[in-house]
Amino acid sequence: MFKNVAELVEKAESQGISIAEVMIRQEMEISEASREAVRERMGRNLDVMEQSVAKGLAGVKSLSGLTGGDAVLMQQYIAKGKTLSGPFILDAVSKAVATNEVNAAMGMICATPTAGSAGVVPGTLFAVRETLNPTRDQMIDFLFTSGAFGFIVANNASVSGAAGGCQAEVGSATGMAAAALVELGGGTPEQSAHGMAIALKNLLGLVCDPVAGLVEVPCVKRNAMGAAVAMVAADMALAGIKSRIPADEVIEAMYRIGQVMPSALRETARGGLAATPTGKKLERQIFGEKK
Amino acid sequence: MKYNSVFDIIGPIMIGPSSSHTAGAAIIGRLARSVFGRMPKIADIHLYGSFAETYKGHATDVAIVGGLLDFDTNDERIPQSLHLAREAGMEVAFHTEEAVPEHPNTTMIHLEDEHGSMEIIGVSIGGGKVEITELNGFKLKLNGMYPAILVLHDDRFGVISGVTNILTKHRVNIGHMEVSRKEKGKMALMVIEVDQNLQDSILDEIRGLEHVTQVTRMSP
C-alpha cells in the first residue's frame, strides 16, 4: 500500500501507469475483487454524482431555506455569454454548488471525501466533461485518482471538519480534484502531485464554522470556491509550475494546523461565521431560542 | 492505517447533509442494532462534542434512529426515521452531554427491551468511517468493515482456545482478535473479526462452551 504522495507517484512512474491504475490495483488486492467489480462500484458512485448535479441544476431548496437555487442562477448567468472568469470555471462552480444544494436538502449524494465537501470533485469532473469529452472509463479513472490522493490525506491527516476544520474537508476535496484534473488533462503523476499541493496550500487554515450547525452556510459556497481553486491549480501544474513545498509536507502542515485549531472552529457552530450577529440570528430563526 | 479502501474516500452513497454526522451516525446506529440483534423498545442516545453541538442541523438524531431501524446510509426513509420509530414502538430519547470526549463525534447508545439491555459507544471519524470503542463497559476497537463475533465469557484459561478451535474446525479465518476485561478473574469480552458471515450453527456451538455467557454477531 502506498503511504504517501511520494510513494504513489513513484509507483505510477516506475511502472509507467496512471495514478488511477495504482489505486485500482491496490483496491483489487485489499478487497480481493476483480477489476470489473471495482470499476463497476466506482461507476455507481459516478452515476449518483451525475444525478445530484442534474437535480441541483434543476433547482432545490433546503428545509431551513438557507440554501438552494444558486446553481440555477449561475447557469443562467453563464448562458448570457458575458462573464468575468469565463464559462469553464463557472460551470464547475455551478455544478459543485448543485451537488451541495442537493446534500443540504437531504437528497442523495456520494461523499467525496465527505458530504459537506461532496461538490468539488463532481463539479470539476462534470464541467471538464463538456470540454475534454472524456469516456465513461476516463471519468471513472478521474474518481480513482481523486480517491488515491484523498486516501493519503485521510490516513496521514484527516478528512473530518470536526477534527481538522474545513481545510480537511473542502481543502482535501480541492486537492483531490486538482490532482485528477491534471491527470485527465494529460499531466504526469508528478504534475498531479504539484496540482494537489498547490490547491491544498491555498485552503490551509480554513475553519469549519457552519451557521446553525447546518451543512449549508458557508459550506455550499466553499465548495464553489474549492472547484474554482482546483481548476486553476490544475492549470498551474499543467503549465509546469511546481509547488515549492512537496504535497506530503503540505498534508502534514494541514494536519498540524488542525491539531492547534480551537474547537470553536471545528464544526461546533460556536465560532467564525456561525458566531456572527447574522449567523446567530439565522440560528434563532431556524431553531428558535435554544441552548 | 485508518482507511483501507478507496471507497472510504469516494463514497458512501448517502442521504445528506453530513458524512460524519449523518452517514457515520447512521452506520453506528445500524451496528448497534446488529449487535443488539433485534428492534429495541427503548433507545437512549447520548451525544458528545460536535455531535452534541450540531446534531439538529446535521440530522444526527434522525440518522442514528434510522440506523437503529436497520436503514442503510442511502435509504431514503432516513428523513422520516423519528416518525417511523414511533410507529414501530421504539421509544427514543436524546441527551446532549457536556463531557469532552477523546474524539469530537461520539455517541453512547443504550438499547433495551424485555429480554435485555446493551450499551455501546461509537465514534464517527470522518467521511462516513466509524469505530465502535466500547460495548457494555468493555473497551474494544471495531470499524464495522468485517463481520465480527462478540463472546462474553468468564475470564478463565482455555476459553479462548475453545472458541478458536471451533472456528478452526469450520475453516473460518480470523482477521483480527482482541480480548478485554474490566477486572481480573471476572467477565471478559472476546472480539473476533472474521472474513465471512458465520452460520447460526457455529454460533450455537460456541454458546455451548463452558464459561461462555453470551455470543452475538455484528454484520457490516
The domain of A14 spans: 5-287
Residue B220's pLDDT is what?
77
Q: Which residues in chain B touch residue A111, judged by CB atoms under 8 angstroms apart? A: 10-14, 19, 23, 127-128
The verdict on a CB contact (< 8 Å) between B53 and A45 is: no
Residue A65 forms contact with B (CB below 8 Å): no
B91-96 β-sheet, strand order: B91-96, B42-48, B105-113, B116-126, B129-135, B138-142
When computed from its CA atoms, the radius of gyration of chain A, rounded to whole angstroms, is 18
Place of cell 453506528: B28
Rg for chain B, CA atoms, rounded: 17
Beta pairing class for B212-218 and B105-113: unpaired
d(CA A90, CA A97): 10
**A106, pLDDT greater than 80:** yes
Pick the CATH number of B148-218 from 3.30.70.260, 1.10.3720.10, 3.30.70.920, 3.40.50.300: 3.30.70.260
The count of structural domains within chain A is 1
Please list every residue in chain B whose beta carbon sits closer than 8 Å to the beta carbon of residue A214.
Answer: 17, 57-58
- Give yes or no for A32 touching B (CB within 8 A): no
- For cell 427503548, what's the residue? B42
Residue B140 phi/psi, 5-degree rounding, is: -155, 175
pLDDT in tens, A184-196: 999 999 999 999 9
Residues of B in contact with A44 (CB under 8 A): 13
pLDDT over 70 at A114, yes or no: yes
| CATH fold of the domain at B6-135 | 60s Ribosomal Protein L30; Chain: A; (3.30.1330)
pLDDT at B196 over 90: no
Closest residue, chain A, to B62 (C-alpha): A106
pLDDT band at A289; cut points 50, 70, 90: low
- Mean pLDDT, rounded, of chain B: 93
Residue A291 has a pLDDT of: 44
The size of the A-B interface in CB pairs under 8 A is 172
Distance between alpha carbon A29 and the CA centroid of its chain, in Å? 26
Grid cell listed for A145: 485518482
Which amino acid belongs to residue A227? A
- At residue B94, the 3 state secondary structure works out as strand
Does residue B143 register a pLDDT over 90? no
Chain-centre distance for alpha carbon A148: 13
- What pTM value is reported for the model? 0.87
Taking CA atoms, B12 is separated from A114, A196, B209, in Å, by 9, 23, 39
Q: Which amino acid is at A52?
A: S
A196 neighbors A179 (Cβ within 8 angstroms) = yes
Q: Is A212 left (phi over 0), alpha (psi -120 to 50) or beta?
A: left
d(CA A74, CA A19): 33
Q: Is the pLDDT of residue B158 over 80?
A: yes
Phi/psi at A270 (5° precision): -110, -10
CATH number at residue A88: 1.10.4100
How wide is the angle at C-alpha A147 spanned by C-alphas A230 and A10, nearest 5°?
Answer: 90
Are B9 and A151 a contacting pair at CB < 8 A?
yes
pLDDT one-digit tens code per residue, A4-42: 999 999 999 999 999 999 999 999 999 989 999 999 999
pLDDT tens-digit readout, A236-270: 999 999 999 999 999 999 999 999 999 999 988 89
Q: Which residues of chain A does B55 touch, with a Cβ-Cβ cutoff of 8 Å?
A: 213
Residues 134-163 of A with CB under 8 A from B: 143-144, 146-148, 150-151, 154-155, 158-163
Q: Are B2 and B103 in contact (CB under 8 A)?
A: no
Cα separation values, A221 from A1, A213, B8, Å: 35, 15, 24
H or E stretch covering B116: strand B116-126
Which chain B residues are Cβ-neighbours of A154 within 8 angstroms?
A: 2-3, 8-9, 126-127
How large is the average pLDDT for residues A80-90? 96
Dihedrals phi, psi of B139, to nearest 5 degrees: -75, 140
Decide which of B186 and B69 is more confident: B69
Sole residue written with cell 463475533: B149
Q: Which of B23, B54, B124 sits opposite A111 (nearest CB)?
A: B23
What angle do helix axes B24-36 and B60-68 make, rounded to 10 degrees? 30
| B5, B19, B128: residue with CB nearest A27 | B5
Residue B190 clears pLDDT 90, i.e. is over it: yes
CA distance, residue A46 to nearest chain B CA (Å) = 9
B218 contacts B190 by C-beta, under 8 angstroms: no
Pairing verdict, β B187-194 and B116-126: unpaired
Residues of A in contact with B5 (CB under 8 A): 27, 30-31
Q: Is the peptide bond before A246 cis (omega within 30 degrees of 0)?
A: no
